[in-house]
Amino acid sequence: MTDSIVHKLENQIQLKDFKLNSLLEITNAINSNQNVEQLMQLFEFIVHEQLRYDKFIIFNKQDQWDCILRRGYKGKIRNFDIQSELTRFSEITMIESSQSDLLKEFDVIVPVFHKEQALAYFLIKGVEYDGRHYSNELNYMSFIQTLINVIVVAIENKRMAKVNIHQERYRRELEIASDMQKMLFPDDLPSNKQMDISAKYKPRHEVGGDYYDFIQINDDEYVICIADVSGKGVSAAMLMANFQATIRTLFEFQEFEIEKLIIALNEKVMKNAKGEKFITFFLAHYHAETRELKYINAGHNHPFITDGKFVEELDQGCIGLGMLEELPFINIGTKKLKPNTTIVLYTDGVVELENEKDEFFGSERLVKLVKSYYPLSMHDMNSLIFSKLDEWKGSLDLVDDTAIFSCRFF
């Protein structure tokens, strides 16, 4: 065996050992859960210190394309359009000429694909070409491609693991918020000789921002209320849960006065939401012996009272809670209720529900239905109204949380 053949075999063995050792180093780093920066430092050491390349770049796609490693290139990368400049390359390609200032600085493009999706592009300088033959360095490109593939797949797996953890955490938060929201609504609404009260609610998503309540102060005095928070999701549900708890606390520890209550609630919403959300709110205080109803409407859809014939909106009040640090005006409304009067409270998901012709359901249609179903119990009336809402929207989804809270005082 000639010396040249022996030397060639030795080189092949050394190259094979180098590749195996490098791959083992990368694999061990991944298995030890090293972060992206540490993986890039190891890869840079292999390419620069062991393979002796001085100029290279890696572009990697996570949510978007980004440069995760750069060595020896001092030009600008920010304006480089990776999508148009690189995604057309599917194989290791020698850069013979290019209009791109960045691509002109390199010799070879090494694309990295996983499941037919481009995950990375490696640009490197130092691979020579004499017009007919590539230098021996091009033999390393497939190996470098393999190393990058292993690394970027590991990076992608790390990213997906974080996404899954985030999704699981968010799912758990939704469950908690959903349970919390169910606790907002009263378990038992009274239906007796004095009154018949019933409510129906459908959230648009798993959690919503609507709330209604019935609070008995004593044998003759009752409070009914309804509210809707701007925005949806976990933060909206938590804000509304805190709002409900505040109402209950104020009733328990303070003498009930509507004006003081509304000022305290506004301060609480402003403090908790920091001006990013607000709550529309309606509250009515009913005295069964005097049949007097006092109420305040804080920017909410106007509830209405009816005896089946006449209809009157309850529109006295103030602006929504949490809009301003101080309420510029507070108007308390007062009504004397005749026997068998019904009050209907609702959120904007009812009247703003659209059909396939982009028409709103509207308050006039709601009033007409209430008058039509007036002889029924509140439970039956609400159920029929919701069936009409379902007919109205057809195959469309709900546009908002939808609640109706109906109260008849005999």
Q: For 49-70, how does the pLDDT look when each residue is reduced to its tens digit (9 = 90+)?
A: 888 889 999 999 877 888 999 9
260-264, 326-330, 340-344, 398-402: the lowest-pLDDT one: 398-402
pLDDT, tens digit (0-9, with 9 covering 90-100), for 195-223: 999 999 887 766 667 889 998 888 889 99
pLDDT at 130: 54
Rounded Cα–Cα distance for residues 71 and 82 (Å): 18
Q: How far is CA 341 from CA 293, 311, 337, 346, 404, in A?
A: 11, 10, 6, 17, 17
Residue 314 has pLDDT above 50, yes or no: yes
Query: DSSP letters of 227-271?
Result: EEESS-SHHHHHHHHHHHHHHHHHHHHS---HHHHHHHHHHHHHH
Rounded Cα–Cα distance for residues 201 and 321 (Å): 22
Q: Which of 105-109, 254-258, 291-295 has the highest mean pLDDT?
A: 291-295
* 226 close to 199: Cβ distance less than 8 angstroms: no
79-93, 135-149, 175-189, 262-276: the lowest-pLDDT one: 175-189
Residue with tokens 């009914």: 224
CA 255, 257, 260, 265 torsion: positive or negative? positive
Using CB atoms within 10 A of its CB, is residue 410 exposed (0-12), middle (13-18) or buried (19+)? exposed
Q: How many CB atoms lie within 10 A of CB 201?
A: 20
Q: Which CATH class is domain 185-409?
A: alpha beta
Quickly name the fold that domain 3-162 has: Beta-Lactamase (3.30.450)
| Residue boundaries of the structural domains of the chain | 3-162, 185-409
pLDDT at 400: 76
pLDDT (average), residues 87-101? 86
This prediction has a pTM of 0.60
pLDDT at 233: 66
Residue 74 has pLDDT above 50, yes or no: yes
pLDDT (average), residues 378-406? 89
Same fold, 3-162 and 185-409: no
Nearest alpha carbon to residue 231 among 204, 212, 209: 209
Backbone angles phi, psi at 281, to 5 degrees: -150, 140
Percent of the chain with pLDDT over 70: 88
Tokens linked to 203: 């959230």
Nearest alpha carbon to residue 65 among 74, 47, 78: 78
Model confidence band, residue 10 (pLDDT cutoffs 50, 70, 90): low
Residue 76 has pLDDT above 70, yes or no: yes
Backbone angles phi, psi at 397, to 5 degrees: -80, 160
pLDDT at 133: 47
